[in-house]
C-alpha cells in the first residue's frame, strides 16, 4: 500500500463577525472580542431572540464585480471573498499552476436563504387571499427572477469559486448542518492524500440571519434569549447558558500536498493529520446523551493522525452554549482523555462569533491553526458561573499562552452527525 501524502495548510481566508482577514480575526479572538449585538437587518419585535453575530462592515462590492454581485447570494459573496483572501495569503499564483489538480470543497447548511426568502415573500404577498399558497398569480410568477435557482443552491459558492478562478479539479459541496465544513476539510485532505488533487480550497460558508430561517430557530427554542445583554449571551459551558447565538460568515483554508507546497516555497501554518466522522443515530436536533458517538469521532481522528490522547495540547470545542451539547461534549472529552481532560485547555470561539452553522468548523480550524502558530489558546468569554457538570479548563475569559503542537477540533451537527479534525505543528 502506497504511503499517503501529507497535507499542509498554506493559506487562510476569513470573513466572520469579529474580523475580516486572518489577522483581524485572530486578534479579536485572542483579546476576547464579542461580535454579538441586536439584529439590524430586519425587525425582530415579534421574536423572543433579537440578537445575532452579524458581519456589520462587509461590503462585497469592494471585492466582487457588479454582475457577480447581482447573480449570487450573500453566502456566496462571503465564500468568494474568503477564497480570495485565502489564495492571496497562500502566495499561490494560479496562472502558474495545473488547475486540473486544484479543487474546491465547501460546507454549507442552508444555501442562499437571503434571496430565497425575499423571492418567497414577494410571491406570498401577491398570493394573499388565494385558496392555496400554491395558487400563485401569473403576474407574481413573471416576477420570479431567472437566476433564482443557481443563486440559492447550496453548491453555488463552490461552483462560483471554481468558475471565477478556472479551477478544474473536484468541485464538491457538503451539507451536514453544523459539522459541514469539518467534513469538507477532512474529505478534501483525504482526496489529496490519495493523489486525486494537489491543492483544495476547503472550508464553509453560511448566511442564515434572515427572517424565516432565524424565526425557525427562534421557535425551536435553541437560541439564547438574553437579548438585553447580547454581548454576553453566548456563554459555552457556563452554568447560566440558555442557548446558542446565531452567526454568519465564511472561512476557507488552502490545503496543499507537502511536496507541492515545498516546490513553491510556501509558508506552512500547520499540517492536517487526522479526520474522524461518526453518527449518533439518535435525533435530528438533540445529541445522543451517552456521548459515545462523539468519543468515537475524536478517537477515529486521533487514530488517523497516529497520535495518542496524551499528545493533544488544546481542544477547540464545538461548544455551542446549549445545555445538552456542552454537557455531552464535556462528558465525551472526559471519557476519552480521562485524567488528562482536566489538564487540557478547551475553548469555544463561538462565545465570540456565535454559531456559524455550516461555516463554524472552518472558522474554528483557522483558530486551531493560529493557536499552533502563536502558542495561544483563545478564551471562552462570558464564562462567569462554573457548572458542576462542565468542570474542565475552558480557558475562561482570557487567552492562555502555552506550547501547542497538536490541536483537536470538534464539530457536531443536527441530524446526529460528528466530525473531528486534528492539526499538528509542521515539522520536516
- Catalytic residue ranges: 178, 318, 355
Among 340, 215, 261, 330, which residue's Cα sits nearest to residue 9? 261
Q: Do the Cβ atoms of 15 and 82 come closer than 8 Å?
A: yes
Q: Do the Cβ atoms of 181 and 361 come closer than 8 Å?
A: yes
State the cell numbers at 92. 499561490
How far is residue 203's CA from residue 120's CA, in Å, rounded to a whole number? 29
C-alpha distances out from residue 337 to 79, 300, 310, 333, Å: 35, 14, 7, 6
Among 426, 9, 415, 381, which residue's Cα sits nearest to residue 176? 415
> Which residue in this structure is represented by grid cell 490541536?
407
How far is residue 406's CA from residue 394's CA, in Å, rounded to a whole number? 17
SS3 category, 121: helix
> Which residue in this structure is represented by grid cell 464564562?
383
**C-alpha 406 chain-centroid distance:** 20
200 forms bridges with which residues in the sheet? 103, 255
First to last CA, the chain: 22
Q: State the number of CA atoms in the 13 A half-sphere of 129 facing the CB.
A: 3
C-alpha distances out from residue 83 to 80, 128, 160, 161, 204, Å: 5, 42, 10, 7, 10
Q: Are strands 171-174 and 346-347 parallel, antiparallel or unpaired?
A: unpaired
20 forms bridges with which residues in the sheet? 15
User: Counting runs of H as helices and runs of E as strands, what totals does the chain give?
Assistant: 14, 15
| Residues shown for the chain | 428
407 forms bridges with which residues in the sheet? 314, 423
DSSP string of 66-103? HHHHHTS-HHHHHHHHHHHHHHHHHT--GGGS-GGGEE
Amino acid at each position: 500500500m502506497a504511503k499517503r501524502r501529507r497535507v499542509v495548510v498554506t493559506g487562510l481566508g476569513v470573513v466572520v463577525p469579529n474580523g475580516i482577514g486572518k489577522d483581524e480575526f485572530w486578534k479579536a479572538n485572542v483579546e476576547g472580542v464579542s461580535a454579538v449585538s441586536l439584529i439590524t437587518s430586519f425587525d425582530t419585535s415579534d421574536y423572543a431572540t433579537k440578537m445575532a453575530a452579524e458581519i456589520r462592515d462587509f461590503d462585497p462590492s469592494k471585492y466582487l464585480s457588479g454582475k457577480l454581485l447581482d447573480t449570487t447570494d450573500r453566502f456566496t459573496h462571503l465564500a468568494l471573498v474568503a477564497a480570495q483572501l485565502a489564495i492571496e495569503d497562500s502566495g499561490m499564483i494560479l496562472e502558474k499552476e495545473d488547475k486540473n489538480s486544484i479543487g474546491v470543497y465547501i460546507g454549507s447548511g442552508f444555501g442562499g436563504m437571503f434571496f430565497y426568502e425575499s423571492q418567497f415573500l414577494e410571491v406570498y404577498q401577491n398570493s394573499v387571499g388565494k385558496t392555496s399558497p400554491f395558487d400563485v398569480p401569473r403576474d407574481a410568477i413573471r416576477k420570479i427572477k431567472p437566476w433564482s435557482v443557481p443563486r440559492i443552491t447550496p453548491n453555488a459558492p463552490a461552483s462560483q469559486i471554481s468558475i471565477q478562478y478556472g479551477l478544474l479539479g473536484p468541485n464538491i459541496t457538503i451539507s451536514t448542518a453544523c459539522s459541514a465544513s469539518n467534513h469538507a476539510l477532512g474529505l478534501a485532505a483525504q482526496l489529496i492524500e490519495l493523489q486525486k488533487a494537489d491543492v483544495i480550497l476547503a472550508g464553509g460558508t453560511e448566511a442564515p440571519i434572515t427572517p424565516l430561517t432565524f424565526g425557525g430557530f427562534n421557535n425551536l427554542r435553541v437560541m439564547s434569549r438574553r437579548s438585553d445583554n447580547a454581548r454576553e449571551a453566548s456563554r459555552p459551558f457556563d452554568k447560566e447558558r440558555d442557548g446558542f447565538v446565531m452567526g454568519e460568515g465564511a472561512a476557507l483554508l488552502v490545503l496543499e500536498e507537502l511536496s507541492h507546497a515545498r516546490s513553491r516555497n510556501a509558508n506552512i501554518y500547520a499540517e492536517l493529520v487526522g479526520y474522524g466522522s461518526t453518527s449518533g443515530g439518535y435525533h435530528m436536533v438533540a445529541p445522543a446523551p451517552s456521548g459515545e458517538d462523539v468519543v468515537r469521532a475524536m478517537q477515529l481522528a486521533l487514530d488517523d493522525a497516529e497520535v495518542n490522547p496524551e499528545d493533544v495540547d488544546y481542544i477547540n470545542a464545538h461548544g455551542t452554549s446549549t445545555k445538552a451539547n456542552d454537557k455531552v461534549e464535556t462528558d465525551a472529552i472526559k471519557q476519552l482523555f480521562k485524567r488528562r481532560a482536566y489538564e487540557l485547555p478547551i475553548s469555544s470561539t463561538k462565545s465570540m462569533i456565535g454559531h456559524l452553522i455550516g461555516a463554524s468548523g472552518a472558522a474554528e480550524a483557522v483558530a486551531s491553526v493560529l493557536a499552533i502558530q502563536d502558542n495561544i489558546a483563545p478564551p471562552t468569554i462570558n464564562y462567569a458561573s462554573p457548572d458542576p457538570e462542565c468542570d474542565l479548563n475552558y480557558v475562561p475569559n482570557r487567552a492562555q499562552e502555552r506550547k501547542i503542537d497538536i490541536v483537536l477540533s470538534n464539530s457536531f451537527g443536527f441530524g446526529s452527525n460528528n466530525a473531528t479534525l486534528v492539526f499538528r505543528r509542521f515539522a520536516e
